[in-house]
Structure 1
Amino acid sequence: MSARPPRILAIAGSDSSGGAGIQADIKTITMLGGYAMTAITAVTAQNTRGVSAVEPLSPDMVAAQIDACMEDIGVEAVKIGMLGSADIAEVVADRLEDLGRPIVFDPVMVATSGAALADEATIHVFEWLMEIATLTTPNVPEFQALGGADAMAKRGVAYLAKGGDSDGPMVEDRLVRPSTDDVVWSDARIVTRHTHGTGCTLSSAIATLLASGLPLHDAITKARRFVRDALKAAPGYGGGNGPLGHHAVRGD
C-alpha cells in the first residue's frame, strides 16, 4: 500500500482563467504528490489580460470551509494567498494561529496584470499572518509595501524576497530568517510573458514540500525548480500574461 499524500489546504481566491489562485494551487499540489483542499476567499473574473471583477465571500463562509477540511480530512500544511478583505484575513489568522503546522503566506496585493487585490485594511492584518506563518513570500512590490528589509527585520519573521519583478538577466531570491545567515538563489531569467500564477505556484509548492518532510531550504530549492520548469512548459494561452505549464512538470 502506497503512502498517503500529504494534505494541503490552500486558502485563496478563484481565478476563472485557471492560471493563478486556487486553480494554480490545486495543480501544483497535485503534481507534487499532495492532496489539495481549498477554502475559497473570493471569486474573480479574470484572464491573462487582467481582472475585470472581484467578489469576496463572507468571512463566515471562508471559516466554514477551513473548519470543514480540518475537522474531517486534516491538514499537514497550509498555503495562504489572496484574501479579499480584512475581515477574511482576520478569520484566517484566527483559525490558523495555533495550528502547529507549516504555513506559507503569499501576501497577494497586486495581480500580475496590475490589478489591486488587497486594500490597506487587509494589508494591516498581514502583520498577524506573517507572525504565524512559517514563511512569507513577497514579490518586489509587496516587499516594498510591507516596508522593505528594515521593517521585515523588526517583525522578526522568516521571508523569501522574490526577485522575479526586478530588472536584469538574473533572478535572485533571498531567504531571510532571524539569527541565521541569508540564503540566496540566483538563476538566469526565463524571458517569457507567460508568468501568470508564478507566486501562487511557488508558495503552494513550498507548502506541499514542507508537508512532505523537506526542510525549508530544500523545499524552496525544489519549489523554485518546479516553477522554472513550469515557466518553460507554458502552453502559450491568452493574449497577455499567460499561464504556466503545470501539467508538464512532475516535480521529481
Structure 2
Amino acid sequence: MSNITATRPMQGSSTPIVLTIAGSDSGGGAGIQADIKAISATGSYACSVITAITAQNTLGVSAIFPIPLEHVEKQLDAVFTDLNVVAVKVGMLADCDIIKIVAAKIKQYQPAFLVVDPVMVATSGDLLLQTSAINTLKSELLPLADLITPNLPEGAALIDCEVPDNEDSMATMIAGLRQLGATAVLLKGGHLEQDENSNDLLILSEQVHHFAAKRINTRNTHGTGCTLSSAIASYLAQGRELLEAVRLGKQYISQAIAHADELAIGKGHGPVNHFFSGHADVR
C-alpha cells in the first residue's frame, strides 16, 4: 500500500474546493459528515449543501426530514455565487423536487466535475431514496455526471435487473449502466462478500478498467460509499485525471477501512477511519 503524506496546495495556487450535496448523518459516519472528512483528509476544501436531516446512528436510520426546497436552493446559490467550486459530489437527495433543483443548479453554475453517488440504501438496509425518485434521478441528474458510483444493489435498481451474486453477472450490467448517460460509471463490487477481493469496474464509453482491493474483515464499513465518491471528487478538483482519481480514491478508502477497527464508535456498523494518518494524500 502506498505511503500517506500530508499535502497542501502549491504556494500561490488556489485551494481546490469541493461541494458536497447530501443528507446529514447525526451519527457522523456517513452523508455530509463523511464527505467533509474525506474531502479534508485528501487535501481539498469542503463546503456543503444539506438536502435532508436523518436521525441515524450505527444501528440504522429512524427518521428522515427533507430540507424545504427553497432552502436547498438558497444554500446552492450561496455557495456557488461566492466560492470557486471545482468539483461537486452529490449523495442523498430524498425526493424528486430536490433532484430537479440540484440538476437545475448544476446546469446553471456548471462546475468542472460532477460525481454522483446514487444513495438509495444505507449500510443497515434502510431505504434512503424514495422509489418514485429513481426515474427522476436517471432523467435529470445522471446524464450530467462525469462519474456515478453505484454499489451492486444501486446499480441493479438503476437498470432494473437482479442484484449480481458473482463477477460474471456483475459484468452483464455494463451495457445497461452505459445507457444511463454519465461519462463514466464506477460499479462497486463490495457486496460480493464471498470473494477474496473487493473488485470494482470503471466503465467508460469504450473501455472497462478493473480495480481490485483486498477485502478487509471488519463490520465498520458505515459511510464507505460516501467516503469513496468524495475522495474521488477531491482528487478531480486537484487536477487528477479520472483514472488516477479513482485509483487514489480506492487507495484512500482501502486504508480508511483497514484502520476502521482502531475506532470504537457505536454498537452497530461503525464508521471508517477517515483520518488514519492525519490530513493526507495518497501518493
TM range (shorter): over 0.9
Match of 1:238 in 2: 266
Match of 2:104 in 1: 94
Match of 1:142 in 2: 154
Deviations 1:98-123 (A, max 9, x none): 51410000000000111000112211
Structure 1 position 251 matched with structure 2 position 281: yes
Query: In structure 1, what residue type is equivalent to 2:272?
Result: L
Aligned pairs (5 A) from 1:34-49 = 34-49=44-59
Aligned pairs (5 A) from 1:81-230 = 81-98=91-108, 99-127=110-138, 128-147=140-159, 148-157=173-182, 158-167=184-193, 168-178=195-205, 180-230=206-256
CA distance in 2, matches of 1:174, 1:125: 25
CA distance in 2, matches of 1:125, 1:74: 28
CA distance in 1, matches of 2:180, 2:58: 35
Structure 2's unaligned 5+ residue stretches are: 1-10, 160-172
Deviations 1:216-248 (A, max 9, x none): 000000001110111112113111110111122
Query: In structure 1, what residue type is equivalent to 2:224?
Result: T
Normalising by structure 2, we get a TM-score of 0.86
CA distance in 2, matches of 1:66, 1:131: 20
- Check whether the contact 2:85–2:111 (CA below 8 A) recurs between aligned residues: no
Aligned sequence identity (%):
44
Q: Which has the higher contact order (CA 8 A, sep 6+)?
A: 2
Query: In structure 1, what residue type is equivalent to 2:59?
Result: R
- SS of the aligned residue for 1:97 comes to helix
- Check whether the contact 2:178–2:185 (CA below 8 A) recurs between aligned residues: no
The alpha-carbon deviation at position 251 of structure 1 amounts to 2.5
CA distance in 2, matches of 1:2, 1:232: 35
**Equivalenced residues, count:** 251
The alpha-carbon deviation at position 2 of structure 1 amounts to 5.2
- SS of the aligned residue for 1:225 comes to helix
- SS of the aligned residue for 2:23 comes to strand
Q: Which runs of 4+ in 1 moved over 4 A?
A: none
Query: In structure 2, what residue type is equivalent to 1:226?
Result: Y
- Check whether the contact 1:194–1:236 (CA below 8 A) recurs between aligned residues: no
- Check whether the contact 1:30–1:36 (CA below 8 A) recurs between aligned residues: yes
C-alpha RMSD of matched pairs (Å): 1.3
Query: In structure 1, what residue type is equivalent to 2:270?
Result: G
CA distance in 2, matches of 1:131, 1:204: 19
Deviations 1:204-223 (A, max 9, x none): 00001001000000000000
Match of 1:15 in 2: 25
Normalising by structure 1, we get a TM-score of 0.96
Query: In structure 2, what residue type is equivalent to 1:84?
Result: A
